[in-house]
């Protein structure tokens, strides 16, 4: 490494140290906020009720006809450069095969029936019609039924959970409990309505889902999630520990300022140490965060094209199911996504976004998370210990990973960290059996912890 590079790293790290230190002391000592129950569609306060309504997902003939027309009249795709595979983004040769399948072989009626195999509902929470799946166990004889809220992220949907739901709602002889699964669509995603005023971040979604569980009659429950879902359940566990019996996440993160600072300094300077021969710690890299910056600043701009073109929507989302599943897939011409998913499964997820016209509103979560007010709230939450019993599943191709010692700085009652043998970012979708098994074992440990410790913890 040359002298100029050392100077650049030093200046950058020093600047970051100053910024983080200043922000730290500006929020130090601030109390955990009491979150308001904001009404997210003003003007509808007197026109909604608290009913829980059955809901059926429909691929209307009009929508399907229009979709097929757009797919079959897509302008010729720009050919990829020679040998770049997916390193420039979605490889259009691989994309064309998926689009051809969507237009000609995807059975809309059969897939509509498949999506409706579980019981779907809607109920109005804080002005928003929140869509959710409620899957009850088939055999509860001799078993305690434990409610489990599972939360998806972007660019996923409730479709991520279709293979894991039966693994959680089917009783196992070695456990004296079984799960009832509640899987909502995040506000602004799929069939949950979007806010008409700014500010709805994952923090506020935790309030909505706390109210959803209360509406369903659950005062205490377990929570599970990855991606944005992990942010939601971490916040729920922090704000509402009296309701959350335990938390299981496949993306446990500690993003306090000092942990981030340590990451920056370690990754920049460790390579300069002659005795440091091990790999750098795994952390999100700049090469895979371009979408994040766009969506955190101009989601409505990029959303116009994605809402108008199914080919554009597919290109934008499928690329995440390639690199998110395994970053090495970007070096494969086929993108590797068929290693873990079928065309039908990937298109089911695309259909949720297409028929609900929700790609723009789903991307706004990135922008809302980084408003001045929400950055302050996040800073306070990240600095507040989570006391509910917690367990983490770490899949080897996840976009971020932290050590148990780091995780314990936030999850103070961390019972279990499981290193998975395979899998990536979309754990429930990719490896439902691995994830389900870890949830069962984790909840068993959390149940034992609660019986022994819960009454002695000051939440």
Higher pLDDT, 429 or 8: 429
Q: In degrees, to the nearest 5, what angle opens at C-alpha 392 toward C-alphas 230 and 137?
A: 75
The residues, ordered by sequence, that sit 6+ positions from 372 with a Cβ below 8 Å of its Cβ are none
Q: Decide if 266 contacts 281 (C-beta within 8 A).
A: yes
DSSP string, 345-405: HHHHHHHHHHHHT-HHHHHHHHHHHTSHHHHHHHHHHHTSPB-S-EEEEE-TT-S----HH
Nearest one of 153, 177, 138, 164 to 231, comparing CA atoms = 153
Q: In degrees, to the nearest 5, what angle opens at C-alpha 418 toward C-alphas 416 and 420?
A: 170
Catalytic annotation present for 227 = yes
Question: Is residue 39 in some structural domain?
Answer: no
Question: Is residue 270 in some structural domain?
Answer: no
Catalytic residue among 222, 366, 397, 438: 366
Q: Given this model, what pLDDT does residue 180 score?
A: 98
What's 210's domain CATH number? 3.40.50.1820
Using the predicted structure, report yes or no on whether residue 316 has a pLDDT greater than 80.
yes
Distance from the Cα of residue 4 to its chain's centroid: 39
Catalytic annotation present for 425 = yes
Catalytic annotation present for 248 = no
**Going edge to edge, which strands form the sheet with 128-135?**
52-55, 120-125, 128-135, 177-184, 144-151, 221-225, 244-249, 390-394, 414-419
Question: Is residue 163 in some structural domain?
Answer: yes
Question: Is residue 278 in some structural domain?
Answer: no
Q: What is the mean pLDDT of the chain?
A: 90
Residue numbers of the domain that contains 359: 52-265+284-454
Specify the 3-state DSSP secondary structure of 150.
strand
Orientation angle between helical segments 202-215 and 372-382, nearest 10 degrees: 70
Q: Given this model, what pLDDT does residue 3 score?
A: 41
Using the predicted structure, report yes or no on whether residue 304 has a pLDDT greater than 80.
yes
Question: Is residue 218 in some structural domain?
Answer: yes
Handedness of CA 403, 382, 425, 387 (dihedral sign): positive
Nearest one of 161, 183, 193 to 362, comparing CA atoms = 193
Q: What's phi and psi for 155, nearest 5 deg?
A: -95, 40
Catalytic residue among 227, 234, 341, 438: 227
Whether omega before 36 lies within 30 degrees of 0, making that bond cis, reads no
Using the predicted structure, report yes or no on whether residue 21 has a pLDDT greater than 60.
no
The residues, ordered by sequence, that sit 6+ positions from 317 with a Cβ below 8 Å of its Cβ are 155, 349, 350, 353
Q: Given this model, what pLDDT does residue 438 score?
A: 98
**pLDDT tens-digit series, residues 30-89:** 678 889 999 999 999 999 999 999 999 999 999 999 999 999 999 999 999 999 999 999
Question: Is residue 417 in some structural domain?
Answer: yes
Question: Is residue 271 in some structural domain?
Answer: no
d(CA 312, CA 291): 14
Catalytic residue among 234, 348, 425, 438: 425
Nearest one of 225, 253, 260 to 410, comparing CA atoms = 253
**pLDDT tens-digit series, residues 425-458:** 999 999 999 999 999 999 999 999 999 998 887 7
- State mean pLDDT over 318-340: 96
Say how many domains are in the chain.
Answer: 1
Please list the helix, strand and coil fractions of the chain in percent, rounded to the nearest 5, in that order: 50, 15, 40
Orientation angle between helical segments 202-215 and 228-239, nearest 10 degrees: 70
Question: Is residue 210 in some structural domain?
Answer: yes
Q: Kindly state the percentage of the chain with pLDDT values over 70.
A: 87
For residue 135, the cross-strand partners are: 181
**pLDDT tens-digit series, residues 249-289:** 999 999 865 555 555 555 544 544 444 444 444 545 677 88
């Amino acid at each position: 490494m040359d002298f100029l590079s050392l100077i650049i790293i030093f200046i950058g790290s020093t600047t970051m140290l100053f910024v983080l230190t200043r922000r730290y002391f500006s929020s130090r000592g601030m109390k955990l906020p009491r979150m308001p129950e904001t009404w997210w569609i003003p003007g509808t306060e007197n026109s909604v009720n608290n009913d829980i309504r059955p809901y059926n997902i429909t691929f209307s003939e009009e929508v399907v006809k229009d979709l097929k027309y757009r797919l079959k009249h897509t302008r010729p795709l720009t050919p990829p450069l020679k040998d770049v595979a997916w390193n420039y983004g979605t490889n259009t040769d691989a994309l064309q095969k998926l689009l051809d399948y969507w237009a000609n072989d995807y059975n809309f009626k059969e897939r509509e029936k498949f999506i409706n195999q579980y019981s779907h509902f809607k109920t109005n929470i804080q002005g928003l019609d929140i869509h959710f799946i409620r899957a009850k166990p088939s055999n509860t004889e001799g078993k305690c039924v434990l409610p489990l809220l599972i939360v998806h992220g972007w660019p996923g949907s409730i479709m991520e959970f279709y293979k894991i739901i039966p693994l959680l709602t089917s009783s196992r002889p070695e456990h004296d409990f079984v799960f009832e699964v509640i899987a909502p669509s995040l506000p602004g995603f799929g069939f949950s309505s979007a806010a008409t005023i700014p500010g709805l971040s994952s923090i506020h979604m935790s309030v909505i889902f706390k109210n959803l569980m209360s509406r369903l009659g659950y005062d205490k429950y377990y929570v599970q999630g990855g991606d944005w879902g992990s942010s939601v359940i971490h916040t729920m566990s922090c704000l509402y520990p009296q309701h959350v019996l335990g938390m299981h996440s496949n993306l446990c993160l500690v993003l306090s300022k000092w942990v981030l600072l340590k990451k920056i300094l370690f990754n920049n300077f460790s390579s300069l140490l002659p005795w440091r021969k091990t790999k750098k710690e795994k952390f999100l890299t700049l090469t895979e965060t371009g979408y994040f910056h766009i969506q955190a600043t101009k989601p409505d701009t990029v959303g116009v094209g994605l809402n108008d073109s199914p080919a554009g929507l597919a290109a934008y989302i499928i690329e995440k199911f390639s690199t998110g599943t395994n970053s090495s897939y970007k070096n494969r011409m086929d993108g590797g996504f068929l290693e873990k998913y079928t065309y039908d499964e990937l298109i089911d997820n695309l259909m949720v976004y297409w028929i609900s016209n929700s790609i723009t509103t789903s991307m706004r979560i990135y922008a809302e998370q980084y408003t001045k007010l929400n950055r302050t709230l996040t800073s306070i939450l990240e600095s507040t210990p989570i006391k509910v019993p917690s367990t983490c599943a770490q899949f080897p191709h996840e976009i971020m990973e932290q050590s148990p010692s780091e995780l314990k700085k936030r999850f103070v009652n961390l019972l279990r960290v499981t290193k998975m043998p395979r899998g990536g970012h979309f754990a429930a979708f990719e490896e439902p059996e691995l994830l389900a098994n870890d949830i069962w074992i984790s909840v068993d440990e959390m149940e034992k912890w609660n019986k022994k410790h819960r009454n002695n913890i000051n939440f």
